[in-house]
Amino acid sequence: MAAEHHNGMQCNEFDALLSDALDQVLSGPKAQAFQAHAKTCAVCGPLLAEAEAGKRWLEQLVEVEPPVHLVHNILAATTGIDTARLHAPATAQTQASWFDRLRNWASLVVSPVFAVVKQPRFAMSFGMAFFSLSISLSLTGVKLSDVRHADLRPSAIRRSYYETTGKVVKYYENIRFVYEIESRVREFKRATTPAEPAPEKKDNHQRNDNTSGQPDDKQQRNYSRGDSQVILAALPDNPPVVRFASETQATLRRML
């Protein structure tokens, strides 16, 4: 804008006051000088008219309605992005917490047991207990494989209990039978041996002196179970020798 001077006001000064004049905030001597410049300046006069017209045109423009989905779209684009960003780790956290909760629960239940079992002395006791149990079971005829495949229904358990109990009782009876026989044998021994305690001793001495003590020892044993047994035992092999042997024995007894 040319720096022309009209009525004490330059064109750039007019330009600076133009908007205020249109806003109707210009008053006093400034407003008078402004109006005077507008009337006389060939550039600023039309500018005032056009600016005023332009302002009125713009006042014709009414506010337009935004699209109905604008707010929704903005919220989806903003909080949507945010929820995708913030809620993703949150969701992962909830999922993780489920696993954590389950794991914690499991460890709460299991870990004390394992903690005890993991200790060497308990592990040893555990092992020993299992070992002795398996030995006891195998002695009674129960195989671990059978136990593993055992039917665990109450009736089946009852049946296996009675079977096992029967086996244990049989085992016990067998052992009792063995001990009974052994004790009877001991009683029989005691009943037969007191009659000749000394000759047995002397016999032992003789046998110790005798270089060929092996057959004598055999015979001596036979004696302890009765003479008839010895004879019967000797008969099939060589009756004369046996007879001789019994004769020798009788002779020996007579000599003693």
Partner 1 sequence: MEDAQLAAMLVRRCVAGDAAAWEELVQRYNRRIYNICYRFAGSADDAQDLTQEVFIKMYRTLKSYDLERGAFMTWVTTITRNLLVDHFRKTKQDRMTDSLDTAPSEQEDAMPLSDRIPDHGPSPDAHSQSREVGETVQRALQKLSPDLREAVILRDLNDLDYREIATVLKVPEGTVKSRINRGRAELARLLQRTYKQVM
Number of residues located near partner 1, criterion CB under 8 A: 34
Stretch that binds partner 1, among 14-22, 98-106, 141-149, 158-166 (CB under 8 A): 14-22
Stretch that binds partner 1, among 19-27, 122-130, 138-146, 180-188 (CB under 8 A): 19-27
CA pair distance 141, 139, nearest whole angstrom = 5
Task: Pick the closer one to partner 1 by CB: 52 or 227.
Answer: 52
Residue 169 binds which entry of partner 1, Zn ion, none, CB below 5-8 Å type-dependent? none
Task: Pick the closer one to Zn ion by CB: 15 or 196.
Answer: 15
Dihedral of the CA atoms 16, 22, 27, 29 (nearest 10)?
A: 50
Residue 106 binds which entry of Zn ion, partner 1, none, CB below 5-8 Å type-dependent? none
Burial 183-214 (b: 16+ CB within 10 A, else e): eeeeeeeeeeeeeeeeeeeebeeeeeeeeeee
Question: x/- site string to partner 1, residues 24 to 63, per CB under 8 A?
Answer: -----------------------x-xxxxxxx-xxxxxxx
CA pair distance 155, 118, nearest whole angstrom = 36
Bridge-partner residues for 10, per DSSP? 5
The distance of closest approach from Cβ of residue 83 to partner 1 in the complex, given in angstroms and rounded to an integer, is 9
Other residues' Cβ atoms within 10 Å of the Cβ of residue 41: 22
Interface with partner 1 (CB under 8 A), residue from 9, 18, 230, 242 = 18
Using CB under 8 A, which residues numbered 68 to 97 contact partner 1? 70-71, 73-75, 77-79, 81-82
The distance of closest approach from Cβ of residue 61 to Zn ion in the complex, given in angstroms and rounded to an integer, is 29
The single-letter DSSP state of residue 64 is: P
Q: For residue 6, which phi and psi values (nearest 5 degrees)? A: -130, 125
Task: Give residues in contact with Zn ion (CB under 5 A).
Answer: 11, 41, 43-44
Task: Pick the closer one to Zn ion by CB: 44 or 142.
Answer: 44
Q: 96's torsion region: left (phi>0), alpha (psi -120 to 50) or beta?
A: alpha
The distance of closest approach from Cβ of residue 77 to partner 1 in the complex, given in angstroms and rounded to an integer, is 6
Task: Pick the closer one to partner 1 by CB: 61 or 255.
Answer: 61
Between strands 9-10 and 5-6, the pairing is antiparallel
